[in-house]
Amino acid sequence: MDPIALTPVDDIRVTIVVDNVFDALLTGDARTGRRGFGALDTPAGQFEGGLTSVGLAAEHGFSALVTVRRAGRETTLLFDAGLSPTAMTDNADRLGIDLTGIQGVVLSHGHFDHAGGLAGLAQRLGPRRMPMTLHPYVWTRRRIATPRGADDMPTLSKRALTGEGFDVIERRHPSLLVDNSVLITGEVDRTTEYERGMPSPHQAWTGTEWRHDPLVIDDQALVVHLQGRGLVVVTGCGHAGAVNILRHARRLTGVDRIHALIGGLHLSGPAFESAITPTVTALTDLAPALVAPGHCTGWRAQHALAAALPEAWVPSSSGTTHHLTHA
């Protein structure tokens, strides 16, 4: 397969608008900015002066703004939208981000904790049409079935999204956006033995029956080639497996060096913890300069990554901005 010609960029900023954690006491450095208290003054009569400072919302969801700059031109995409209708828009307001300035939306997959904020975004955009790139399986009905019963997950509606102003672009295969400087992976090849996907309670409706859905085949990542540094990869949940995703990105682009991995790695819970050690070993071999796992990565994997990659690992938090520049 010939590599996809992914045009290198001069700079990339990844702002975590929604994550599972908000920690106002985290400190930043030259490449990672933090937002603490005081993002917005809010009326509160129990304080002298009638105001208090607030932080940012944290919820079991993920949303990031990805801004790339090349030849003096900046373009911003929204990658996922969080769990609730309001957390993403509220956090954007507190961060001083104008969501009407985004040029497109990308969904990592169809799970509701990555798409709930689209309702709030649609209200913010008003009548403006917004392109949205996603995998055609995001419309799949899914549920969690246990001996105690089955809980259906909220299922995305194409009709509703189109009615709210989104121009839906369905792609199973890789997509190039932003003048060929942003790659959406499409379906990720599963090549490792240890990244086995979702356990048996996770099921999908085939049209005639419920079946185990381990792959979450609509899972895709966003990839940017930072000039002179290597690939920057942003994941939503990383259901395909972090190592599978990085291998796939390298194979698609022909770029071997991984500069940064940002987003959910789905290593939380007993069903996934056996994959932590081989994943950490593989990431250590790849030697990225920045590893900023969040959302569904889980505390055991976070500790393992922090110990193995102390110079690269950075804890995630709502309001964090990673600003990466070319060599």
Per-residue pLDDT 10s for the chain (327 aa) are 678 999 999 999 999 999 999 999 999 999 999 988 865 578 899 999 898 888 899 999 999 999 999 999 999 999 999 999 999 999 999 999 999 999 999 999 999 999 999 999 999 999 999 999 999 999 999 999 999 999 999 999 999 999 999 999 999 999 999 999 999 999 999 999 999 999 999 999 999 999 999 999 999 999 999 999 999 999 999 999 999 999 999 999 999 999 999 999 999 999 999 999 999 999 999 999 999 999 999 999 999 999 999 999 999 999 999 999 997
Sign, Cα dihedral of 218, 272, 274, 271: negative
* Residues 279/194, Cβ–Cβ less than 8 Å: yes
Cβ-based neighbours of 200, under 8 Å, separated by 6 or more: 212, 214
Residues near 247 by beta carbon (within 8 Å), at least 6 away in sequence: 189, 191, 192
Q: What is the pLDDT of residue 54?
A: 86
From the list 287, 276, 296, 279, the residue with the least C-alpha distance to 244 is 279
Length, in residues, of the chain: 327
**Fold for the domain defined by 11-34+55-325:** Metallo-beta-lactamase; Chain A (3.60.15)
- Residue 185: count of CB within 10 angstroms of its CB: 27
State the DSSP H helix or E strand holding residue 63, giving kind and residue range, or none if neither.
strand 63-70
The answer to whether residues 104 and 77 touch, using CB atoms and an 8 Å cutoff, is yes
